[in-house]
C-alpha cells in the first residue's frame, strides 16, 4: 500500500543560498532511548548555523523540560499514557495530522526527520507534502521477535517506503533495508548510535581488580535478548569455578526465567523500569556487559557501557559485532549458544589485562566515533543535500 501526498503552495520554497535550511525533528515517543537519542542529536545539530531547527514532540515525554530549555520552536502534541488513553487518542489523529502539516507549510520546512518509528507515523505520512523530504532514522529493519505481528511489520515497511532517505544505525541495517525492502542504496546513510550521558563520569570505569567479576544484563526482558542463553552460560561458568556474579536489571516478564535463576548463586535481579536519572548507577561496579541476543540491529546498552569503560561480550548477530570490536573493545562469541557465550566470558574473566585493555579501548572508541558531535556532523551533510524522491525512484 502506498502513502499518498499533498502538494504545497509554491511560496516560500525558493530559499536563497544563504538562508538556513528549515528542518523539523519529529519524535512522539514518551520515554526510553528514542527520546534521549532525539535530544542529544538536536542539542548538537543546534550548533550548526546552516539549519533552523523545529521540533515535534509528545508533551508526555519524560524529558520534555530538557527540550524546552533548548529554546527551539515546534509543534508538540498530547499522545497517551496508557492503553485506554491510547485508544481514545486515536480519534484525534486526523486533526493532529492536519495541524502537523499545516505547521510544516506555514514555517517553510523542507526536511522532516523522524528519529524513531511511532504507532502514529503511518497515518501522518498519508498526507505528506510532495516537496518536503522525509528522513527516517531506522533503528531496526524489522520488528523484533515477539513484536513481529503482521500489522507492525506492515507499518514499518510502509514507513520505509514513504521515506526519501534513511539513516541506518549499522551496516547490517543498511544492507537489510536495501535488500529486503528494495530501498535505493544511494539514499541510505550510516550514522552509529551515540553515547547517552548516563556513563560520562570516569568513576564508572571498571578498574578494580582481584574480586568477584560482575556481569551485567541490562534492558527489557524480551525473548530475543537471550537471557536464558546467558543464564545457561553463567551456570557453565559457575560449574567451572569462575568467580563471577550476575546482575539482571530491567522491566519485563521475569517468570520464564525464575526456575533458571533459582538454581544459581550470586545473581541479583532488579525487575523494573529504571528511570533515566538512575541508569548511570546500573553500571557502577560492573566489569563485563553481556548482550546474548538471538537477533538485534544494535543495542544502546553497548554504547553506554563502552563510554563507561566496560568491555562487552555479544553474540554474532545483526549489528552487534559492529558495535563491539572483537578483541579490541570486547569479545564476539563464536555463536549464540550458552557454551560459546560462556567461553567468551571466561576469557575476559580469566585475562584481567585483556579485560582492562578492552575497557579502555571501549571508552576511547565511544568518546570519539560515537560522540554526538561526530554523529551530528554526519546528519548535517545528509540534511544539506537530501531532496524528495521522484515518482520513478519511489517504491
Sign, Cα dihedral of 112, 379, 362, 234: positive
pLDDT tens by residue, 116-143: 988 888 889 988 999 999 999 998 877 6
**CA pair distance 183, 22, nearest whole angstrom:** 25
Domain 197-368 fold is Rossmann fold (3.40.50)
Would you say the CATH fold of 197-368 matches that of 5-192+372-385? yes
d(CA 320, CA 304): 14
Enter the pTM of the model.
0.82
Grid cell in block for residue 35: 527520546
Whether 173 and 386 have beta carbons less than 8 Å apart is answered as no
Q: What is the pLDDT of residue 4?
A: 41
Cα–chain center distance at 285: 24
Tell me which of 184 and 87 has the higher pLDDT. Answer: 184
Q: Which residues of 140-176 are buried (b: 16+ CB within 10 A; e: fewer)?
A: bbbbbeeeeeeeeeebbbbbbbbbbbbbbbbebbbeb
5-192+372-385: which CATH topology?
Answer: Rossmann fold (3.40.50)
Task: Name residues whose C-beta falls within 8 Å of residue 33's C-beta, 6 or more positions apart in sequence.
Answer: 196, 300
C-alpha to C-alpha distance for 323 and 7, rounded to whole angstroms: 41
Contact 217, 288 (CB under 8 A): no
State the pLDDT confidence band at 150, using cuts at 50, 70 and 90: confident
Per-residue pLDDT tens digits for 364-391: 998 888 899 999 999 999 999 999 987 6
| In the chain, where the domains are located | 5-192+372-385, 197-368
Q: Which tens digits make up the pLDDT trace of 49-72?
A: 999 999 999 988 888 999 999 999
Between 154 and 243, residue with greater pLDDT: 243
CA–CA gap between residue 283 and residue 367 (Å, rounded)? 17
Amino acid at each position: 500500500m502506498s502513502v499518498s501526498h499533498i502538494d504545497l503552495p509554491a511560496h516560500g520554497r525558493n530559499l536563497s543560498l544563504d538562508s538556513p535550511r528549515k528542518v523539523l525533528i519529529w519524535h512522539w515517543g514518551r520515554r526510553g532511548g528514542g527520546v534521549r537519542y532525539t535530544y542529544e542529536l538536536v542539542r548538537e545539530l543546534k550548533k550548526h548555523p546552516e539549519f533552523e531547527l523545529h521540533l515535534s514532540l509528545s508533551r508526555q515525554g519524560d524529558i520534555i523540560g530538557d527540550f524546552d530549555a533548548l529554546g527551539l520552536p515546534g509543534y508538540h502534541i498530547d499522545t497517551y499514557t496508557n492503553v485506554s488513553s491510547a485508544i481514545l487518542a486515536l480519534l484525534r489523529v486526523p486533526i493532529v495530522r492536519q495541524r502537523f502539516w499545516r505547521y510544516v507549510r506555514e514555517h517553510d520546512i523542507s526536511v522532516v526527520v523522524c528519529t524513531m518509528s511511532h504507532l502514529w507515523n503511518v497515518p501522518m505520512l498519508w498526507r505528506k507534502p510532495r516537496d518536503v523530504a522525509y528522513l527516517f532514522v531506522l533503528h531496526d529493519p524489522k520488528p523484533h521477535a515477539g513484536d513481529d505481528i503482521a500489522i507492525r511489520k506492515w507499518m514499518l515497511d510502509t514507513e520505509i517506503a514513504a521515506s526519501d532517505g534513511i539513516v541506518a544505525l549499522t551496516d547490517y541495517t543498511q544492507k537489510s533495508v536495501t535488500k529486503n525492502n528494495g530501498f535505493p542504496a544511494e539514499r541510505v546513510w550510516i550514522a552509529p548510535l551515540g553515547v547517552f550521558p548516563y556513563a560520562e563520569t570516569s568513576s564508572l570505569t571498571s578498574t578494580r581488580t582481584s574480586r568477584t567479576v560482575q556481569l551485567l544484563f541490562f534492558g527489557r526482558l524480551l525473548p530475543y535478548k537471550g537471557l536464558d542463553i546467558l543464564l545457561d552460560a553463567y551456570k557453565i561458568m559457575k560449574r567451572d569455578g569462575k568467580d563471577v556474579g550476575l546482575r539482571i536489571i530491567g522491566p519485563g516478564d521475569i517468570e520464564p526465567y525464575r526456575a533458571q535463576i533459582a538454581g544459581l548463586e550470586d545473581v541479583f535481579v532488579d525487575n523494573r523500569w529504571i528511570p533515566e536519572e538512575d541508569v548511570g548507577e546500573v553500571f557502577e561496579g560492573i566489569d563485563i556487559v553481556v548482550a546474548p541476543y538471538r537477533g538485534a540491529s544494535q543495542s544502546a546498552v553497548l554504547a553506554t557501557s563502552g563510554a563507561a569503560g566496560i568491555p562487552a561480550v555479544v553474540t554474532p548477530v545483526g549489528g552487534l559485532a559492529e558495535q563491539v570490536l572483537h578483541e579490541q573493545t570486547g569479545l564476539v562469541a563464536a555463536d549464540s549458544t550458552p557454551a560459546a557465550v560462556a567461553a567468551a566470558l571466561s576469557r575476559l574473566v580469566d585475562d584481567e589485562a585483556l579485560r582492562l585493555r578492552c575497557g579502555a579501548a571501549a571508552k576511547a572508541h565511544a568518546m570519539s566515533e560515537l560522540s554526538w558531535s561526530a554523529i551530528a556532523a554526519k546528519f548535517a551533510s545528509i540534511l544539506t543535500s537530501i531532496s524528495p524522491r521522484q515518482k520513478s525512484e519511489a517504491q
